[in-house]
Chain A
């Protein structure tokens, strides 16, 4: 294996410890030029750590990293050093300057100079050429913020490969892209592959792995499970390897889902009439019954999250009204919605969900504390008991309840946020992309939880870009397109084809 010729990156026997946790233990990873290599594993499997170690964000304890099949070891103490060794990373959150132009973003720090000044013309031309070569046709002189996340990401990729094109790491690049944007990204990836770049692709989407990848490396609990050729590893086996057990959870959810349908009572917990918010969501009617899971489906930017935010009072409605169990609500801020029993788990976990520096306990207790009011401090003992209970119920993996939440993996952070809301004992729970960027195992856990909560009488609004996941959990689905609610699908109409048609606008569904 060591003798293989076109190896651009080889990591051998990597060990890394975090206080109290072994993050990586004897992990090997090999990347060849011109391949797309998926790095798979559940939350806490060590994917992120491996990448951080590789890119110099974290230092590893022991192990060897070599590039280009050379004998000498490569040590990167910072992402800059890693870049010098030919290793570039594009993260899920695009780390560029939104207010600078596309061209500036690509060449920042290494601008083409002329007579001691920046040669803007050359810079723009070069940027244009670079992007054209990747089939991205945009105006490079416009500010980056004018473009969608997908384009921003591709600009980041263009920048990365222009600096050094040997190893490109894509960390969850597709999680906030819609279908057509993903196609475009895959196009770019394939182009780079042809040029001989080795791409490490971290993702949670199995379909995508099977669509573009050549090889898969699976990690579990900080250890290497193995490296496989995509063609030789059926999906079911991949999932089994990631989870360390056979994967039969899907079927069981569906079963309980059909039971739950009968439990739907007629009482309307939430009834929105003509509710709207100028600029984000046009007036809509929507009712949610007790014990029901309602799904919101639509493309990115179709107004899914916006609809939820208006009901929750995060965006103040400027048309229509919301009734809860027949009573008209006045919602000036989220706290008003919380007080009548709503809860909202936002889409953007990092920016709108977690309070990064605070502990798991504080993150969990905050919503309940806010509901009770400033002068009714929940005493320490009660806080600890509540936290421990929800850590246990939701199986949160954390060193202790006082660990800052930022040290947890994405899935566990999400569980903490879920715990935060379950603590407030809501009647109506809004989950906006609760499984985004989360491993398959935790995903199933959350889906199961949703079904269970509904069967206990909670009403849930479930928003997800993954139709499959919605089909598994919801009773009814509202379809959105371009900021407008265009229809609803119930029970027997719920199928992938119907939903796709409705989203695409093949015909109005009523």
Chain B
């Protein structure tokens, strides 16, 4: 009975992603006993490793949400999201200007940034869905050109925003103890979830991702659906870009969101989603994103330098991916069976 229950739980899609996250956290707890300590600092803001992880992973979560849908619908990845973040940040900062007061209202800056990000997504979507170019090749265009475009917008300078309330989005609102990015990330996840669950989009995306030919014949517009997911991915990148810009209240077109596209893809994969498209789990990608950030933060906490970080990260990622691979699971099951048989023999 009990064994059956355990078996049932391990078959649950998110079981392994959650186990991986817990393992990373557990390791931290042993290494850094104060890891889970949350305190309030002098500014009245919650403070601690765990808050830091969730805060820092906000952009990644948002990117991973958009990436999940791209992967699901087209079995391809959008590798331009990091560059799109830079473009969005550049647009936002150049609209607002680096004077003592904004050149335009704050929300206009954000809106402009999101609009341009959606355009970037639409461009990718056009290439992938309409021209049927391989997603990686199609998004490679913006991946390489995006940061250049951002440089053009900023005139090659690092623009600083001097108005104080620009920082709110990337840090905290006055009298609110929780960092704003966390709210934004939660908001994006919930809204996306509702969008998928309250419309037929969830089923459509999976159907198109699994078999686009059959989907067309049963009345779905595969092109439009793939296009929409890329546009949405662009929007997510825009939101992440604005947050990242706000964090450092400036735009550095060369460094905002650098290499984040790879982390986003990894988050999708760590979440137990197949990069081959089709069925997907939004929650899995979110867990994957948090796992990656937890990993980075904990490695920093252990005193690993930023230069060496990728190596350690790679090792852990290899472990996690192996743990989740079907071959490994098969192996474990086989061992289990052998053991059961042995016990059976002994009893006999």
Contacts and interface: CB of A to CB of B under 8 A. Distances in A.
B246 interface: no
A221 B220 CA distance: 37
B203 interface: yes
Contacts of B241: none
Interface in A362-383: 362, 365-367, 369-371, 373-378
A314 interface: yes
B214 A314 contact: no
A344 B204 CA distance: 19
Contact of A355 (B199, B201, B214, B219): B214
Interface in B187-211: 198-201, 203-204, 206-207, 210-211
B211 A354 contact: yes
B279 interface: yes
A377 B198 CA distance: 7
Interface residues of B, number: 21
Contacts of A357: 206, 210, 278-279
A334 interface: yes
Contacts of B213: 351-352
B217 interface: yes
Contacts of A314: 216-217
A108 interface: no
Contacts of A367: 218-219
A334 B219 contact: yes
Nearest to B211: A355
With most chain A CB atoms within 10 A of its CB, the pick from B198, B206, B217, B220 is: B217
A353 interface: yes
A283 interface: no
B215 interface: yes
A333 B217 CA distance: 8
Nearest to A356: B210
A351 B214 CA distance: 7
Given A358-B207, A367-B219, A374 B199 contact: yes
B103 interface: no
Contacts of B322: none
B286 to A, nearest CB: 22
A287 interface: no
B221 interface: yes
B210 A333 contact: no
A338 B215 CA distance: 13
Contacts of A338: 218-219
A374 B203 CA distance: 10
A354 B218 CA distance: 10
A371 B201 CA distance: 13
A369 B203 contact: yes
Contacts of B204: 370, 374
A75 to B, nearest CB: 13
Nearest to B276: A357
A436 to B, nearest CB: 16
Interface string A324-368: 000000000111001000001010000111111110001001110
B221 A366 contact: no
The 8 closest A-B pairs by CB, nearest first: A370-B219, A335-B219, A367-B218, A338-B219, A355-B210, A377-B200, A355-B207, A369-B200
8 contacts: A314-B216, A333-B216, A353-B217, A366-B203, A369-B200, A369-B203, A370-B220, A374-B204
Given A338-B218, A366-B218, 14 more contacts: A314-B217, A333-B216, A335-B220, A346-B214, A351-B214, A352-B214, A354-B214, A355-B206, A355-B207, A356-B210, A366-B203, A375-B199, A375-B200, A377-B199
Interface of A: 314, 333-335, 338, 344, 346, 351-358, 362, 365-367, 369-371, 373-378, 420
